[in-house]
Structure 1
Amino acid sequence: MLVSSKEMLQKAQQNKYAIAAFNIHNLETLKAVVETAEAEQSPLILQTTPGTCEYAGIDYLAAMAETASKAADIPIALHLDHGNSADLAIKCIDVGYTSVMIDGSMLPFEENVSLVKQVADYAHKKHVQVEAELGHISGVEENISSSTELLTDPMEAAEFVKRTGVDSLAIAVGTAHGIYKGTPKIHFDIIRNIRKVVSIPLVLHGCSGVPEDDVKQAVECGICKINIATDIKIAFAAELKEFFSLKPDETDPRKYFKPAIESVKEVVKSKIHIAGSYNKA
């Protein structure tokens, strides 16, 4: 059965590795991620954004993830990524999600605290872990583009965690959502300073396209969860484009999805090894 990500993140924090969390959009990407994580014996967090929830339906997503978790011999959590309302977070909790993110990072500090505390109070009664974000990460997320970057202040982070009771915290330290136009500059000093004053697991969003050594250094500084979304979409789409360029008349999804799944598996394996979570299940 699906498990809370709280224990796996705490274990990662204690042993200085990270859990790679992957955004999935359909059965094919879910299977690719789960099968690879099982082969690598890595704990796994499956993530769905509000857009994916709307596209596929949270009942279907929860049922697929629950089925996968029963068949796999690794711990699997199902997480709402960038939840944009308390209502959606609560619906996901009630349908079987074991982890939710409530993202109030664009709100003023006090409003962010209030929103997150509301969700955390409800989630904890259901033994569901809650992630929040403080600071703001630029880029494109769910077709919403933002050029605003607000790096996380360590002392604000400490106050935020104390007042909300949140279980994990996504911090803004130089990464971005979507495709990078250049090499991102990660502020490792901010990660280290937040780690000194915040005891809960820290999360790094926007890890697709970040140089491997930078991700590893971020983990060494205290990051316990890395989010991967864009790299999976790129790999899946590229393989489909290649398939149809060679076989434009093919109509059987069982044939054209197969190489796309294999392409995603390569990405997943690489990210698990960068995070250091292989053989940690």
Structure 2
Amino acid sequence: MALITLRQLLDHAAEHGYGVPAFNINNMEQGLAIVQAAAAVDAPVILQASRGARSYAGDIMLRHMVQALAEMYPAVPICLHQDHGNNEATCYSAIRHGFTSVMMDGSLEEDMKTPASYDYNVDITRRVTVAAHAVGASVEGELGILGSLETGEAAAEDGSGAEGKLSQDQLLTDPDQAVDFVMRTRCDALAIACGTSHGAYKFTRKPDGEILAMGTIAAIHDKLPDTHLVMHGSSSVPQHLQDLINASGGEMPQTWGVPVEEIEKGIAMGVRKVNIDTDCRMAMTGQFRRLAQEKPDEFDPRKFLIPAMKELETLCRDRFERFGTAGHAAAIKVVGMDEMAARYAAGALDPKITANKAA
């Protein structure tokens, strides 16, 4: 099956009321485990690569790896997505290398550390959207800055993370501004800030309404019912994986992620894409550590990677099932990027606002 664009996939998810996990990948083993899980439960999937992953594996390797996965599992619609693009060049080079979707993160300046102005965000996201839509690729924008409502700080992951103290206004996306942003940029999906953050150390306690503002999602969806919302920093940091790592020589402090049941609530409120990276890292690392401790004489990397892949596959299957993604792959008829470009040009995919919602 040809790769699918983010817009087409999320349109289907919205029509049928499910969310799609977006798993970060860096290598073949991660890709295999994730897509095997998708095939097992008949789910579409988003594979996304950060700038760090593109530097680590190389664009040509990533492109051919994902194309190989699509050939091996033709029944699985796969979207290849650039995560946290920092400028136009990053996004355009991803599209040239076969990515069907890009995120232009204009919430931060090009250094991915300095909070950007609203006008900067609108301008650069709009420029990327115009260029991407001309060739049929999708665009995800971001409004608001990912960070902790407990500390007012952001964690860095793969080079993306604001520095310094952030205000509540920066950490929570404003619903009215979200309407203006979507209409001016024409982006296909909107990543919003609601208290989630990158990395494993998101919360010092199980999150509640004070530190995870799920009501922000509901308020934005109320004003933009036809816009696909995205939750970044949404790894749940499972306790059993923390325990596995620490029982095998690790030293992870106790931490809490975004509970899966909260993500399920978000999906009911219009979230269609859910970013997951830390959980995948923990699943594989936990098995690496376990095997190294149990069999200190082992040196065959395959003996480490096979159980690590199985742990990751189990994690991914759970997310496909919990998010409602399972059972939908076979119903999706992939539209090529040329056709998507024609639909954009004809205005068929322009953002819409329900009149009484925008008032």
Query: TM-score band, normalised by the shorter chain?
Result: over 0.9
* Pick aligned residue for 1:90 from 59, 71, 92: 92
Distance 1:69 1:121, change over 3 A: same
Residue by residue over 1:79-115, the C-alpha shift from the partner in whole angstroms, topping out at 9 and shown as x without a partner, is 0111112111100101100011010112110000111
Cα distance in 2 between the residues matched to 1:243 and 1:166: 45
* Pick aligned residue for 1:168 from 189, 214, 219: 189
Query: Equivalent residue of 1:133, what SS?
Result: strand
Cα distance in 1 between the residues matched to 2:13 and 2:3: 18
* Alpha-carbon offset, residue 17 of structure 1: 1.1
The question of 1:104 aligning with 2:106 is answered yes
Judge conservation of contact 1:137–1:176 (CA < 8 Å) in 2: yes
Cα distance in 2 between the residues matched to 1:182 and 1:49: 28
Cα distance in 1 between the residues matched to 2:58 and 2:299: 25
Equivalent residue, structure 1, for 2:291 = 243
* Alpha-carbon offset, residue 202 of structure 1: 0.5
Equivalent residue, structure 2, for 1:274 = 322
TM-score scaled to structure 1, two decimals?
0.96
**Aligned residue runs from structure 1 range 60-71, under 5 A:** 60-71=61-72
Cα distance in 2 between the residues matched to 1:119 and 1:217: 31
Equivalent residue, structure 1, for 2:233 = 206
Cα distance in 1 between the residues matched to 2:6 and 2:72: 18
Aligned residues: 281
* Alpha-carbon offset, residue 269 of structure 1: 1.0
Q: What one-letter code is carried by the residue in structure 2 that aligns with 1:128?
A: A
Structure having the higher strand fraction is 1
Equivalent residue, structure 1, for 2:113 = none
Q: What one-letter code is carried by the residue in structure 1 that aligns with 2:232?
A: H
The question of 1:265 aligning with 2:313 is answered yes
Equivalent residue, structure 1, for 2:174 = 153
* Alpha-carbon offset, residue 43 of structure 1: 0.8
Cα distance in 2 between the residues matched to 1:143 and 1:89: 16
Distance 1:144 1:78, change over 3 A: closer
Q: What one-letter code is carried by the residue in structure 2 that aligns with 1:26?
A: N
Judge conservation of contact 2:6–2:100 (CA < 8 Å) in 1: yes
The question of 1:115 aligning with 2:124 is answered yes
Worse-superposed segment, 108-117 or 134-143: 134-143
Percent of aligned positions that are identical: 36
Query: Equivalent residue of 1:225, what SS?
Result: strand
Equivalent residue, structure 1, for 2:139 = 130
Worse-superposed segment, 90-99 or 203-212: 203-212
Equivalent residue, structure 2, for 1:19 = 20
* Alpha-carbon offset, residue 67 of structure 1: 1.1
* Alpha-carbon offset, residue 249 of structure 1: 2.6
Cα distance in 2 between the residues matched to 1:14 and 1:192: 18
Which residues of structure 1 form unaligned runs of 5+? Answer: none
Across the aligned residues of Structure 1 and Structure 2, the Cα RMSD in angstroms comes to 1.3
Worse-superposed segment, 93-102 or 269-278: 269-278
Residue by residue over 1:17-64, the C-alpha shift from the partner in whole angstroms, topping out at 9 and shown as x without a partner, is 101110111100110000001111111000111100111111110110
Cα distance in 2 between the residues matched to 1:252 and 1:84: 38
Equivalent residue, structure 2, for 1:233 = 281
Q: What one-letter code is carried by the residue in structure 1 that aligns with 2:117?
A: P
Judge conservation of contact 1:136–1:150 (CA < 8 Å) in 2: yes
TM-score scaled to structure 2, two decimals?
0.76
Residue by residue over 1:160-218, the C-alpha shift from the partner in whole angstroms, topping out at 9 and shown as x without a partner, is 01111100000001211111233333322221121122222100111112112111111
Cα distance in 2 between the residues matched to 1:47 and 1:252: 28
Q: What one-letter code is carried by the residue in structure 1 that aligns with 2:173?
A: T
Cα distance in 2 between the residues matched to 1:260 and 1:50: 24
Cα distance in 2 between the residues matched to 1:9 and 1:111: 26
Residue by residue over 1:126-175, the C-alpha shift from the partner in whole angstroms, topping out at 9 and shown as x without a partner, is 11000010001113321555453520001111100111110000000121
Which residues of structure 2 form unaligned runs of 5+? Answer: 109-115, 148-154, 237-257, 330-359
The question of 1:57 aligning with 2:105 is answered no
Residue by residue over 1:228-274, the C-alpha shift from the partner in whole angstroms, topping out at 9 and shown as x without a partner, is 10000011111101111122232222221101101111111111122
Cα distance in 2 between the residues matched to 1:44 and 1:268: 10
Equivalent residue, structure 1, for 2:221 = 195
Equivalent residue, structure 1, for 2:300 = 252
Query: Equivalent residue of 1:35, what SS?
Result: helix
Judge conservation of contact 2:197–2:233 (CA < 8 Å) in 1: yes
Judge conservation of contact 1:137–1:177 (CA < 8 Å) in 2: yes
